[in-house]
Amino acid sequence: MTVESTAARKPRRSSKRTAGAGARKTAAEPELVQLLTPEGERVEHPDYDVDLSPEELRGLYRDMVLTRRFDAEATSLQRQGELGLWASLLGQEAAQIGSGRALRDDDYVFPTYREHGVAWCRGVDPTNLLGMFRGVNHGGWDPNTNNFHLYTIVIGSQTLHATGYAMGITKDGADSAVVAYFGDGASSQGDVAEAFTFSAVYNAPVVFFCQNNQWAISEPTEKQMRVPLYQRAQGFGFPGVRVDGNDVLACLAVTKSALERARRGEGPTLVEAFTYRMGAHTTSDDPTKYRADEEREAWEAKDPILRLRTYLENAGHADAAFFEELESESETLGKRVREAVRAMPDPEPMAIFENIYADGHALVDEERAQFAAYQASFADGEGN
Ligand SMILES: Cc1ncc(C[n+]2csc(CCOP(=O)(O)OP(=O)(O)O)c2C)c(N)n1
Ligand SMILES: [Mg+2]
């Protein structure tokens, strides 16, 4: 259900569209936009819909399977000592692929550190992400190659970058839009409140896509909010909507609608994708210390990949050959990723001073000179 503000001056959808809803099967959760139930049954929603061909549906399934595979490889590589850290997206594939596939090429994404599925949709090579977690590429890639900004670890800060970028789009007179990804924990940050205020007042074309995965490391959502997260938007003067974050179709439909609204010049939307972090916060975390196994088991029944598979099979949209081929593609991806990580060279030490300021900076020059002297002190015959 969408919360519309009076400031947004957008009329509610006509009741005509909802009139027949009684005859249709609707989602069980009152506040949750859902188009595909956990049992894989296609349901209708009065405000949101997607019309996808069997090929497009298989494409979404493929994206989710390959993203999960890549993520599992990364976790294993960290356990083998090949990566310093990994933040798994396990369980959040639908939220990321659904929203990621709603984007246009000229839209811009500001991710946090767990958006591997969105990176996949943007065409960022997974090995780039792994280079960062191996500590060999100094944190990045060229954001403008895929309109996918660098991973941001300072919680919530990227919502401000996204808002500023979106305000710039308006000044350029373009009709592209921005998506800022962040988590339930990040929603408690002052930066996020500031981003909401600025984007609302300046009518910035930005979609705030919050993956409420129920946990901020060991802090449950009860310690972050008194009202459902999506309702916060109302106080800032823009719509908020809660979507089933494990339903790739609903995530696609809701994000598309929010992006279209932004392009029409109607300002921001807060999308709360209600999902679950199935794994640990990162490979440095042990969730058994603070949450019960039953909770994870309950969410396993809502698995985003399984429900789409059930739907594809029941609707006759995918056959055994498709799933077999995908399994072999998945194996190939895993092998490619493992080999690429192991072959990554250590970075050239002085490279850390590159790509900081476009035109150089006196302080960086000073630090570079100091570090060069320090490096030189290890040369034969010196420092003994
Ligand atoms: C400003 C800031 N404060 C604290 C941290 C430490 N920290 C890293 S991740 C995290 C929790 C974030 O939770 P959430 O926003 O729900 O995202 P999730 O990890 O669940 O995807 C915290 C507190 C940080 N990185 N930045
Ligand atoms: Mg969280």
How much is the average pLDDT of 305-321? Answer: 98
Asked if 281 is an active-site residue, the reply is yes
Ligand at shortest distance from the CA of 188: 1
- Give the distance, in angstroms, between the CA of residue 256 and the centroid of all CA atoms in the same chain: 15
pLDDT for 31 = 82
Tokens standing for residue 76 = 């294993």
Q: Does residue 291 share a domain with residue 273?
A: yes
For ligand 1, the distance from its centroid to the CA atom of residue 310, given in whole angstroms, is 34
Ligand at shortest distance from the CA of 96: 1
Q: Does residue 335 share a domain with residue 355?
A: no
Query: Are residues 218 and 289 in contact, defined by beta-carbon separation less than 8 angstroms?
Result: yes
Q: Report pLDDT digits (tens) over 179-193.
A: 999 999 999 999 999
Domain with 356 in it? 351-381
For ligand 2, the distance from its centroid to the CA atom of residue 182, given in whole angstroms, is 8
**pLDDT score of 274 more than 60:** yes
pLDDT for 382 = 52
Query: Are residues 59 and 100 in contact, defined by beta-carbon separation less than 8 angstroms?
Result: no
pLDDT for 199 = 98
Residue from 134, 149, 261, 281 carrying the catalytic annotation: 281
By alpha-carbon position, which residue is closest to atom 12 of ligand 1? Answer: 216
By alpha-carbon position, which residue is closest to atom 7 of ligand 1? Answer: 155
126-134 and 54-79 helices, crossing angle to 10°: 20
Q: Does residue 355 share a domain with residue 336?
A: no
CATH code at position 337:
3.40.50.970
How much is the average pLDDT of 133-161? Answer: 94
Asked if 151 is an active-site residue, the reply is no
**pLDDT score of 358 more than 60:** yes
The answer, yes or no, to whether any atom of ligand 1 lies below 6 A from the CB of 187, is no
**pLDDT score of 10 more than 80:** no
Q: Does residue 222 share a domain with residue 360?
A: no
Q: Report pLDDT digits (tens) over 50-91.
A: 999 999 999 999 999 999 999 999 999 999 999 999 999 999
Q: Does residue 284 share a domain with residue 367?
A: no
Tell me how many domains the chain contains: 2
Tokens standing for residue 329 = 């593609």
Is residue 113 in some structural domain?
A: yes
Question: Distance (Å, rounded) from C-alpha 43 to C-alpha 35?
Answer: 5
Q: Does residue 319 share a domain with residue 234?
A: yes
Q: Report pLDDT digits (tens) over 195-216.
A: 999 999 999 999 999 999 999 9
By alpha-carbon position, which residue is closest to atom 13 of ligand 1? Answer: 216
Least confident of 252-261, 290-299, 351-360: 351-360
The answer, yes or no, to whether any atom of ligand 1 lies below 6 A from the CB of 216, is yes
- Rounded to 5 degrees, what are φ and ψ at 195? -65, -40
Ligand at shortest distance from the CA of 187: 1
pLDDT band at residue 381, thresholds of 50, 70 and 90? low
**pLDDT score of 311 more than 60:** yes
Ligand at shortest distance from the CA of 112: 1
Least confident of 47-61, 299-313, 337-351, 367-381: 367-381
For ligand 2, the distance from its centroid to the CA atom of residue 219, given in whole angstroms, is 8
Q: Report pLDDT digits (tens) over 11-51.
A: 333 333 333 333 334 444 448 999 999 999 999 999 999 99
Question: Distance (Å, rounded) from C-alpha 115 to C-alpha 99?
Answer: 11
**pLDDT score of 3 more than 50:** no
Work out which ligand 1 atom sits closest to the CA atom of 153. 25
For ligand 2, the distance from its centroid to the CA atom of residue 211, given in whole angstroms, is 7
Q: Which residue has the higher pLDDT, 357 or 134?
A: 134
pLDDT for 18 = 34
pLDDT for 137 = 87
Tokens standing for residue 88 = 């798994």
Query: Are residues 200 and 5 in contact, defined by beta-carbon separation less than 8 angstroms?
Result: no
How much is the average pLDDT of 314-332? Answer: 98
The answer, yes or no, to whether any atom of ligand 1 lies below 6 A from the CB of 155, is yes
Percent of the chain with pLDDT over 70: 91
Q: Does residue 294 share a domain with residue 371?
A: no
Residue from 290, 357, 361, 374 carrying the catalytic annotation: 290
Tokens 């000592």 belong to: 81
Q: Does residue 246 share a domain with residue 104?
A: yes
Is residue 7 in some structural domain?
A: no
Cα 130–85–62 angle (5° rounding)? 45
Query: Are residues 305 and 275 in contact, defined by beta-carbon separation less than 8 angstroms?
Result: no
Cβ neighbourhood burial of 205 (10 Å; 0-12, 13-18, 19+): buried
Is residue 11 in some structural domain?
A: no
Q: Does residue 234 share a domain with residue 92?
A: yes
Cα 268–273–275 angle (5° rounding)? 165
Q: Does residue 362 share a domain with residue 321?
A: no
Is residue 338 in some structural domain?
A: yes
Q: Does residue 295 share a domain with residue 210?
A: yes
Has this prediction a pTM greater than 0.95? no
Closest by Cα among 342, 333, 272 to 68: 333
pLDDT band at residue 283, thresholds of 50, 70 and 90? very high
Is residue 14 in some structural domain?
A: no
pLDDT for 379 = 84
User: Residue 2 forms beta bridges with which residues?
Assistant: 241
**pLDDT score of 121 more than 80:** yes
The answer, yes or no, to whether any atom of ligand 1 lies below 6 A from the CB of 277, is yes
Q: Report pLDDT digits (tens) over 230-249.
A: 999 999 999 999 999 999 99
The answer, yes or no, to whether any atom of ligand 1 lies below 6 A from the CB of 90, is no
How much is the average pLDDT of 221-230? Answer: 94
Cα 167–162–97 angle (5° rounding)? 125
Asked if 24 is an active-site residue, the reply is no
Q: Does residue 118 share a domain with residue 98?
A: yes
Is residue 235 in some structural domain?
A: yes
Is residue 100 in some structural domain?
A: yes
By alpha-carbon position, which residue is closest to atom 11 of ligand 1? Answer: 216
Q: With DSSP H G I counted as helix, E B as strand and the rest as coil, what are the percentages for the chain, rounded to 5?
A: 50, 10, 40
Is residue 15 in some structural domain?
A: no
pLDDT for 139 = 78
| Cα end-to-end distance, the chain, whole Å | 71
Q: Which residue has the higher pLDDT, 138 or 164?
A: 164
The answer, yes or no, to whether any atom of ligand 1 lies below 6 A from the CB of 153, is yes
pLDDT for 138 = 82
User: Residue 273 forms beta bridges with which residues?
Assistant: 211, 243
